[in-house]
Structure 1
Amino acid sequence: MPASGTPPQPADQAGSTDSTNHRPRRRRRPAVRLVLLTVIAVLLGASQAAPAVHLDPPDLSGLPEGTYVALGDSYASGFGVPPYAEGTNVTGGNTCRRSAGSYAHIVSERTGRTLEMGACSGARTRNFYEANESWGEAAQLDRLDPDTGLVTFSIGGNDAGFARILGDCIGGGDRGFLSAAGCSSDAEVTGAVDGAIDALAGKTTRDGVYSYESIMTDIGTRSPNAAVVAVGYPRLFPEQGGSGGLLLGRCHGVTKVDQRWINAKTDELNTAFKAAALRHGYLFADPTGNFERHELCGRHGSWMFGLLETGRFHPNTDGHRATADAVIKALGVANRTTQPAQLADVEAQAANARPVAAISVSRDGEQLTLDASASTDADGAIASIDWYVQHADGTEEVLTGARATTTVPADEQAVVTAVVTDNQGKETFSSQVSPAAG
């Protein structure tokens, strides 16, 4: 998923109709700076990592001989896990930040293959094709040749804009930790992310974004004998949302609805990535299961760096071990006759259109009436509708059903987001701001 660091230059988801009633809410005073400072201290100590569980050595009898080439962005390069290769962490210069602790180095050691590391923090799909001469970096695909025996790559997070989202929108920025205006309620942000994912999936085109299909075709042309593994992104947050420290029920400053949105977009990206890989007969390494309960604010200690750490929102040392385990598991699959069935299922998921959310938020004094019963799904059915209400004091309320009601003090505005989920699990997020009544 996301990647961080300076990008290489040049670049530039029919709910119940039952209403949910709630008692009037008491007004709460916004948190003060002292509370935030206390929370920050708690968050810094909250991410305790547990060692990853390694798999037995895989059966590599079918793995081609040849060099192992690792490509991609900061999730592949190992941003946040020093030491870095010489010349790749230069202030004002090359900041590819190629870590000796990245999953690629672990895979190299466990497969016995010599590694050529081409992944670079901040890389986008265009960097597979364009050189960055000022950094001394060739186009990443230029590292491939007919003698390449193994290729792994993680890419697409920066094209989708995850770095900007996590750094500016969710991670604070001008909005601040207590702002009710998050990413999932910003139509400009959500539209840009959806558009980039569609371009990566090959559904549309966008300047500077190369589809997964084109990248994998070119990998096959350059290294026709190589085993190729597309490495997906882990979910950042627990499935039901997580809380870290005392920051108003949020996880590292991230609201429950934004946690859900980021996870949903990660799933969409991975689905497009996997579909393209299987179409080409390649392997897909999905680290999601390995990270379960080890996400940010996960119950068993996070394998991701938190908001206030250098490698924020990236895998830590245990996270890279868990990702390497996913790659090794993929390589260890000797009987791949199930791939056509997998492909048909994944293709259906990738082709599934997002549902269309049609919501209304009306107000009568303190009472808000929420209605998303007019939402539709062109290629399926609406399975559920959930509501997230962001209150002025920074708290978050969750309601369920196509219609619902709640109360908000008359002199306070509220940001309301509906999450409309179709029968295949794809989600659409739609928001409205309810101004103060008086």
Structure 2
Amino acid sequence: MLFRPRHLDHRGPARGAATRWARLPVLAGVLAIVMAGLPAVQANAVQAVRYVALGDSSAAGPLIPNQIDAVCLRSDHDWPHVLATRLGAELTDVTCSGATIPDLTGRQLGVVPPQFDALRPDTDLVTLAIGANDVKLYETFLACAKPAPAPPGPTCRQRFTTDGVDQFSVRIRDTAPKMATALAEIHRRSPHARVIVTGYLTYWRPGGCYPADPFTPEDANYIQATLDHLMLMLAYETFTHRATYVDIRGPSAWHGLCEPPERRWLEGLVPASPAYPYHPNATGMAHAAAIISHAVDVR
């Protein structure tokens, strides 16, 4: 699901106007002479896209080699780095594991500068991957994993339902205005930037793969549905705040935890390749960058 607001289209004048000018023989001849005499000026006038990457561990790549920030567990093979290489962009990557929306404007862990400090008036492209830590989705991974055979007890949904109300639905609802405020602030600080928001990779296909992965079918479905609910909110807030949402959940649907190691884009409880448990691996980062690059047009 890609939203491309019209006001972000910077592709310049219509082709028809350019064609009519080109048909004027005298002007076309003069233009050819001028262009032939100024190739170096043209080349020097092309500047690299100024790109700022914001977000949490889903973008930072904890434990993926090579780690370049010990506090934020940021990898030089996270998808912002791969995307910057694909675009030939000048990257400022301030993604940080554990980040929440308040960390965009405040000091994370008391020592990591606000991520929004990286934004400039001349920034061309901003990507944002955030939200899961704001709704404390990690609680499901800590509370709902079960050894085989599954012991009796409440399901994950039952654990996080109080008086008939799902706690994550409430948290997602309460996070929406915070996301809206963050997007507005990005536009204020970098008014000319293309703003891209991403969701999260698919974790489980329907039914999960218990006991190979320690979440029963019902619990895997519940956690994935909660993630999907979060991403629906992110997409809505993105679309209504003049930005572009890029769906990486759909393309990764058959590359989740239940697939053979060579097909996985993320890792489970016992990673088969270097990555933090239940986070993207290097393959997932590369594929995420490829998906996002198709949505980016900063010409």
- TM-score normalised by length of structure 2: 0.76
CA distance in 1, matches of 2:169, 2:257: 23
Residue 176 of structure 2 corresponds to residue 201 of structure 1: yes
1:130–1:117 Cα change, 3 Å: same
CA distance in 2, matches of 1:191, 1:81: 34
CA distance in 2, matches of 1:186, 1:216: 33
Higher alpha-carbon deviation: 292-301 or 266-275: 292-301
Residue 272 of structure 2 corresponds to residue 316 of structure 1: no
Residue 290 of structure 2 corresponds to residue 325 of structure 1: yes
1:191 offset after TM fit, Å?
3.3
Residue 194 of structure 2 corresponds to residue 257 of structure 1: no
Residue 139 of structure 2 corresponds to residue 164 of structure 1: yes
Aligned twin of 1:102: 78
Q: Which amino acid aligns with 1:270?
A: M
Aligned twin of 1:118: 94
CA distance in 2, matches of 1:61, 1:113: 18
| Secondary structure class of the residue paired with 2:158 | coil
Contact 1:73 1:124 in 2 (8 A): yes
CA distance in 2, matches of 1:182, 1:83: 38
Query: What is the root-mean-square deviation of aligned Cα atoms in Å?
Result: 2.6
Q: Which digits, 9 at most, give the CA deviation of each residue in 1:94-126, with x for residues without a partner?
A: 2x0110110000110011111111110001111
Residue 65 of structure 2 corresponds to residue 82 of structure 1: yes
| Secondary structure class of the residue paired with 2:96 | coil
Match for 2:208 among 225, 228, 242? 242
CA distance in 2, matches of 1:147, 1:74: 26
Q: Which amino acid aligns with 2:228?
A: D
Aligned length in residues: 250
Aligned twin of 1:363: none
CA distance in 2, matches of 1:176, 1:124: 33
| Secondary structure class of the residue paired with 1:198 | helix
CA distance in 2, matches of 1:331, 1:250: 39
1:176 offset after TM fit, Å?
8.3
Aligned twin of 2:150: 178
How do 1:406-417 and structure 2 match up within 5 A?
Answer: none
- TM-score normalised by length of structure 1: 0.53
Match for 1:219 among 170, 183, 186? 186
| Secondary structure class of the residue paired with 1:127 | helix
Contact 1:73 1:121 in 2 (8 A): yes
1:61 offset after TM fit, Å?
6.1
Match for 2:238 among 273, 277, 283? 277
| Secondary structure class of the residue paired with 2:124 | strand
Unaligned runs of 5+ in 2: 1-9, 13-46
Aligned twin of 1:145: 120
Contact 2:53 2:126 in 1 (8 A): yes
Q: Which amino acid aligns with 1:264?
A: A
CA distance in 2, matches of 1:169, 1:286: 28
CA distance in 2, matches of 1:177, 1:74: 31
Match for 1:267 among 225, 228, 235? 228
1:129 offset after TM fit, Å?
1.2
1:333 offset after TM fit, Å?
9.9
1:250 offset after TM fit, Å?
3.3
Aligned twin of 2:51: 68
Contact 2:267 2:277 in 1 (8 A): yes
1:134 offset after TM fit, Å?
4.4
* Structure in which a larger fraction of residues adopt strand: 1
Contact 1:283 1:331 in 2 (8 A): no
Contact 1:169 1:182 in 2 (8 A): no
1:177–1:308 Cα change, 3 Å: farther
Aligned twin of 2:23: none
Runs of 4+, deviation exceeding 4 Å: none
CA distance in 2, matches of 1:234, 1:177: 28
1:301 offset after TM fit, Å?
2.7
1:70 offset after TM fit, Å?
0.4
CA distance in 1, matches of 2:149, 2:288: 30
Percent identity reads 28
1:333–1:151 Cα change, 3 Å: closer
CA distance in 1, matches of 2:82, 2:54: 14
Q: Which amino acid aligns with 1:169?
A: A
